[in-house]
Structure 1
Amino acid sequence: MGEEGGGRSCGTTRELQKLKQQAMEYYRENGVPRRLEELLNSTFYLQPADVYGHLANCFSKLAKPPTICKIVGKDVLDGLGLPTLQVDIFCTIQNFPKNICSVVISTHFEVHENVLPELAEAEEAERASAVSTAVEWVNSTITHELQGMAPSDQAEVDHLLRIFFASKVQEAKERKELENSLEYSAVPTLLPPAPPPPPPPPPTKKRGQKPGRKDTITEKPIAPAEPVEPVLSGSMAIGAVSLAVAKACAMLLNKPLYLNIALLKHNQEQPMLFMPLLMVSLVSCGKSSSGKLNLMKEVICIPHPELTTRQGVEMLMEIQKRINKIIELPSPPKAETKKGHDGSKRGQQQITGKMSHLGCLTINCDTIEQPLLLIQEICANLGLELGTNLHLAINCAGHELMDYSKGKYEVIMGTYKNAVEMVDLYVDLINKYPSIIALIDPFRKEDSEQWDSIYHTLGSRCYIIAGTASKSISKLLEQGNISIPKSNGLIIKHTNQTTMSDLVEITNLIDSKKHITVFGSTEGESSDDSLVDLAVGLGVRFIKLGGLSRGERVTKYNRLLTIEEELVQNGALGFNEERTFFYFNEEAEKAAEALEAAAAREPLAPTFPTQGVEESAEIGASSG
């Protein structure tokens, strides 16, 4: 038996060697690569399984690079249970189709609470139409346009997506013109059109009316609200496909998405990567809250830049736990009927709250100071100091505060301020709480004079940031102007037709103007965490993800922690002195100095630290 088995073994070895020899001669005659010939020689005495493995690895390197074979769009639900778009990328790899990745893009729609039923139904229908149109685009024209393209060719993919979107915009324009012409032709022409009604007479000025109301006569009328920038139904297909292709490329190259985006931004040169600074929403006291205060849609906390992302998240989690405990406290006994006996201000109701779609508590407050004092007290109990360990930002959401019937901002229920008075309000707020280092959307975008005023007054001491007040990324790139309204920085979001190339271009433009970039999440988020990779890869200064609650937001904070760990382990986490402390706009600082010199008075408050933590401690002490 042994001899017989040995004979079979020798025969098998001879047959294998013969096959190898034939393979070498065949490939030599047909132009075999030198490295393959060396591989065959090196595996001459290996077992068959090992040989086939080596050959498979070699041939996989010689195979055609992966190409896109199919793109699939699906209607899925976001974190609020509302419809949004998912895109799957399939690539041909070694002649076989394979599902590479999926992404979910968030819609641009804001989340409105206490809205009229008819408005809610109209927006629901608009959202459904936007998603279904996007699914149709992806599954028809877009998948055919991108078939056969390499996922690594991001610039060319984005170029084709832009051309496709431009054609859809033109189609929508022509359709609208046709509808208008048909409506015009359907109007009977037997009778001449009725003349327009005469304009209403101008209001008469009553000089003798109530004392103290003279300012209402001389006040400059507010600028009417600009038309809402149109969003073409289905446009989210462009942004979703662009992101999906970038993610597919990263997965095929076995690289994280943030590195792929960074290489795209830096023209394939290996960059040093930085973690964006956190902007975490702690509480919301906007118009959707049950309290009287409308001004603070979000009270945002920013950990000190020298803290790691993990340290910052852990610190803010502890603060949020304390806020939750205060909100959950049982109501005091009803025996005391006199106001103020429960320790609160006269006429002020106890703080209660509910979880917001932003991932933070919506609490009822009656004064501007109340939420700030709440956070200040919690920090003091934890041994933290505002202005030293952490800083604050306020999302004012100015566009939501305007009462157009009165032409004023309703800061607190029943308390109205005109645009000029709002500047004074913000100056007083920063003077009293210098730990506030950013104001987001302090005005409507239409109040350009007040943006200029607050920028030159406070821009050297805190960031004036345009979020909703800014134009869309496509408009900013088209006009090349990011200075309207006047601000220190912009909040950008990945929505609608924004491609990866657009994000690279807009961040380069913002950087060139020495503005800061805040990468923000939308109001209705999905569980897709890709935007965190985008923020890291693009090298933005801040990332604004909402609060530390709700799964669709927490998953993004977890992704931030994972990226930080990867960068530390790989020795790729950069350290830039300019990111250690907050630097405000030099132009605004010079303007503020000029105003102070002209007024011949002392500075209102010390400038935020540019040298060390010691200086920030002095500011934190003054905020107490």
Structure 2
Amino acid sequence: MTTAIRSLNAFGILDSRGYPTLRVVATLDNGCTGTASVPSGASTGRHEALELRDGDSSRYGGKGVRKAVSHVNQIIQDHLHGQAAAPQDAVDATLVALDGTENKARLGANAILGTSMAVARAAAAASGVPLYRYLAGASVPRLTVPMMNVINGGRHAQNSLDFQEFMIVPHGAPSFAEALRYGAETFHALHELLHKAGYSTAVGDEGGFAPNLGTIEETCELIVAAIRKAGLRPGPEVALALDPAASSFAKDDKYVFAKSGNMTFSSAELLDLYDRLARTYPIVSIEDGFGEDDWEGFRRQTASCGDRLQIVGDDLYVTNPRFIRKGIESSATNAVLIKLNQIGTVTETIQAVQMCRDAGWRYIISHRSGETEDTFISDFAVAMGGGQIKAGSLSRSERLAKYNRLLGIERDLGPGAAYASPF
């Protein structure tokens, strides 16, 4: 019996928003299997790899994935049958060549990524090691500081907030387990404060609360109050992070807060707003503070604040080494958000991470707003050693599954498990 790929089987499932996605099962000749489910984003960069949808309005409003499923079960299955499941880069090279397009448009990034992850899991099983050790190779696994989205806005919630994510970062905890406790206790304290003030405690796409708060400042004040209510220190123990997702409110060369009063900002005025917020509140990271085409806005922010803030590009880079290289050469940011489904294979994602390492940049492994119970990113984040993960809030099981997997990894690693603040 060998570790050659015997079969690939894909089928449709539903993600956390109730929309179709696909699950892929890879089976090797030695009987080992690997299963992977593919996430989906709502706030997506224009240059992301293509998520293939059927476009048939009679099924799931055109969001069906029958085409992507058939591509795995027919085209990809035919070409990967009999190929060794390892090394991963050889498998992924076959997938990329088979698709033959720059953005995975022929087969669909969802079909390709599901296959890539499933084969990696099967190969890890055949090697007799956990996925994070298999993916780490010679690198030392490192536990991750979670960035927990506790208040949702933007495209992730039907409320009055234009900023998409307000996060807490329990970077001062002594272990991942304690960091999770810090986050959970702050989340529940925030629930109490919102309820007492008469705000809704319904949650958005990523499990954070989605109240109709008046201003960004009021939102930050509430989160700081919740940290204190939980008996923790804002800043040293639990910091704040923002993901405005500014591409969603960029209009021509301006930025318009349409949900909270139609306020309009120039790129320079928006930079001033971020600077004021960071000087007032214990903010350690700002992601996508400018639109995906506003490279100058990012450069100005990094030049003025990059020595004290993590400036993260997401839509700016879409996990694509070509755009990350441009960012490094122009000093556009000092960190990159890494999402497997933005680029489409495990190997290309690792290449993006390596580019960040070589430049001395930070990188954060991230989920998507449309998620599944798959925990691949938990293992991937530990394997890549960047020490940061975005996996959503402290509610909704598709988010908590990632945190619970990290608890299991911490237990497996034992006393040697490294948990340290990157800030």
Match of 1:467 among 309, 314, 322: 314
What is the root-mean-square deviation in Å for CA atoms of aligned residues?
A: 2.7
Q: Does 1:82 align with 2:19?
A: yes
Aligned partner (choices 67, 72, 76) of residue 138 of structure 1: 72
Please give the per-residue CA displacement for 1:401-450, whole angstroms capped at 9, x wherever unaligned: 2244x9433273232211121111111111222x1011111110222222
CA contact (8 A) 2:373 2:399 kept: yes
Instruction: Tell me which of 267, 271, 286 is aligned to 1:439.
Output: 286
CA distance in 2, matches of 1:534, 1:87: 18
> Is the partner of 1:409 in helix, strand or coil?
strand
Which residue of structure 2 aligns with residue 61 of structure 1? none
* 8 Å contact from structure 2 (residues 387, 422) kept in 1: no
The verdict on how the C-alpha distance between 1:320 and 1:574 changes in structure 2, with shifts beyond 3 A counting, is closer
The secondary structure found in structure 1 opposite 2:29 is strand
Q: Counterpart amino acid of 1:277?
A: V
Q: Distance in 2 between matches of 1:317 and 1:418?
A: 37
Stretch of structure 1 that moved more, 131-140 or 240-249: 131-140
State the identity %: 24
Task: Give, in whole Å, the separation in 2 of the partners of 1:127 and 1:484.
Answer: 38
Residue 354 of structure 1 aligns to a residue whose secondary structure is coil
Unaligned runs of 5+ in 2: 45-54
Q: Pairwise mapping of residues 496-515 of structure 1 onto structure 2 (< 5 A)?
A: 498-515=344-361
| Alignment partners' CA distance in 2, 1:484 and 1:549 | 39
Q: Distance in 2 between matches of 1:146 and 1:464?
A: 40
Mapping of 1:141-540 within 5 angstroms?
141-166=75-100, 169=101, 234-263=108-137, 269=138, 271-286=139-154, 292-294=160-162, 296-329=163-196, 350-404=198-252, 407-410=254-257, 412-433=260-281, 435-473=282-320, 475-476=322-323, 482-483=328-329, 486-495=332-341, 498-540=344-386
Q: Which shifted more, 131-140 or 514-523?
A: 131-140
Q: Which amino acid counterpart does residue 567 of structure 1 have in structure 2?
A: L
Look up the match of 2:49. Answer: none
CA distance, structure 2, for counterparts of residue 158 and residue 280 of structure 1? 31
Tell me the matched-pair count: 412
Contact kept in structure 2, 1:398 and 1:443, CA below 8 Å: yes
The CA deviation string for residues 47-81 of structure 1, in whole angstroms up to 9 with x for no partner, is: xxxxxxxxxxxxxxxxx433211111111112222
Confirm or deny that 1:541 pairs with 2:415.
no
**Counterpart amino acid of 1:547?**
S
Instruction: Tell whether 2:39 aligns with 1:106.
Output: yes
Residue of structure 2 in register with 1:127 after alignment: 63
Give the CA deviation at 1:519. Answer: 0.6
Q: Distance in 2 between matches of 1:407 and 1:480?
A: 23
Q: Aligned partners of 1:316 and 1:520: how far apart in 2?
A: 17
Shift of 1:261: 0.2
> Which residue identity is paired with 1:151?
A
Q: Deviation string for 1:14-42 (max 9, x for gaps)?
A: xxxxxxxxxxxxxxxxxxxxxxxxxxxxx
The equivalent position to 2:417 in structure 1, one of 555, 562, 573, is 573
Give the TM-score normalised by the residue count of structure 1. 0.62
**Higher relative contact order, chain-length normalized (CA < 8 Å, sep 6+):** 2
Give CA deviations for 1:564-601 in whole Å, capped at 9, x if unaligned. 11011xx54247xxx5452xxxxxxxxxxxxxxxxxxx
Q: How far off is 1:301 after superposition?
A: 0.7
Indicate how the Cα distance of structure 1 residues 564 and 247 shifts in structure 2: closer, same or farther if over 3 A, else same: same
Letter in 2 for 1:247: R
CA distance in structure 2 between the partners assigned to 1:146 and 1:525 by the alignment? 27
State the distance in 1 between where 2:217 and 2:249 align.
18
Which SS does the other structure have where 1:528 is aligned? coil
